[in-house]
Amino acid sequence: MFFIDKPFVSDFLKSTLKEYQIPVVEMPQTAALQLFPGTLLISPEQAMARFQGSGEPVYMNSENAIGWLAQHDAFAALSARIELFKDKAAFRRLMQPVYPDFWFREVSLNELPSLDISEFLFPFIIKPSVGFFSLGVHYVATPEEWPETVSAIQKELKEAQGMYPPEVMNAETLILEECIEGEEYAVDAYFDADGNPVVLGILKHVFSSADDVSDRVYMTSGSVFEENLGPFTAFLQSVGKRSGVKAFPIHVELRKDAAGMIRPIEINPMRFGGWCTTADLTHHAFGINPYVCLAQQIKPDWPALLARQSDDLFALIVLDNSTGVAGAAIASFDYDALLSRFEKPLELRRTNVAAYQVFGFLMTQTRPDHAEELTAILHSDLTEFITVKP
**Interval 303-316: pLDDT, tens:** 999 999 999 999 99
Query: Could you write out the DSSP letters of every residue in 113-150?
Result: GG---TTS-SSEEEEEEE--TTTT-EEE-SGGGHHHHH
For every one of its 390 residues, what pLDDT tens digit does the chain have, with 9 covering 90 and above?
999 999 899 999 999 999 999 999 999 999 999 999 999 999 999 999 988 867 789 999 988 888 889 889 889 999 999 989 988 888 999 999 999 999 999 999 889 999 999 889 899 999 988 776 667 889 999 999 999 999 998 888 887 776 666 666 667 889 999 998 899 999 999 999 999 999 999 999 999 887 787 889 999 999 999 999 999 999 999 999 999 999 999 999 999 999 999 999 999 999 999 999 999 999 999 999 999 999 999 999 999 999 999 999 999 999 999 999 999 999 999 999 999 999 999 999 999 999 999 999 999 999 999 999 999 999 999 999 999 999
CA distances from residue 214 to 129, 258, 353 in whole angstroms, order as listed? 17, 22, 16
In the chain, which residues fall in CATH 3.30.470.20?
A: 183-388
Q: What is the pTM of this model?
A: 0.88
Domain with CATH 3.30.1490.20 in the chain: 101-178
Predicted local distance difference test score (pLDDT) of residue 155: 87
Kindly give, in sequence order, each residue whose CB lies less than 8 Å from that of residue 279, ignoring residues fewer than 6 positions away: 13, 188, 200, 201, 272, 273, 290, 291
Opening angle at CA 47, ends 42 and 50, nearest 5:
115
Q: Which residues contact 266 (CB under 8 A, 6 or more apart)?
A: 85, 88, 91, 252, 253
Tens digits of residue pLDDT in 320-338: 999 999 999 999 999 999 9
- Tens digits of per-residue pLDDT, 328-377? 999 999 999 999 999 999 999 999 999 999 999 999 999 999 999 999 99
The pLDDT assigned to 159 comes to 78
In terms of phi and psi (left: phi > 0; alpha: psi -120 to 50; beta: otherwise), the region of 90 is: alpha
What is 101-178's CATH number, 3.90.980.10, 3.30.360.10, 3.40.50.2300, 3.30.1490.20? 3.30.1490.20
Distance between CA atoms of 249 and 57, rounded to whole angstroms?
Answer: 8
161: left (phi over 0), alpha (psi -120 to 50) or beta: beta
Which of 67, 60, 53, 54 shows the shortest CA–CA distance to 25? 60
183-388: CATH topology is: D-amino Acid Aminotransferase; Chain A, domain 1 (3.30.470)
Amino acid letter at 257?
D
Beta bridge partners of 358: 320
Query: For position 168, what pLDDT does the model report?
Result: 61
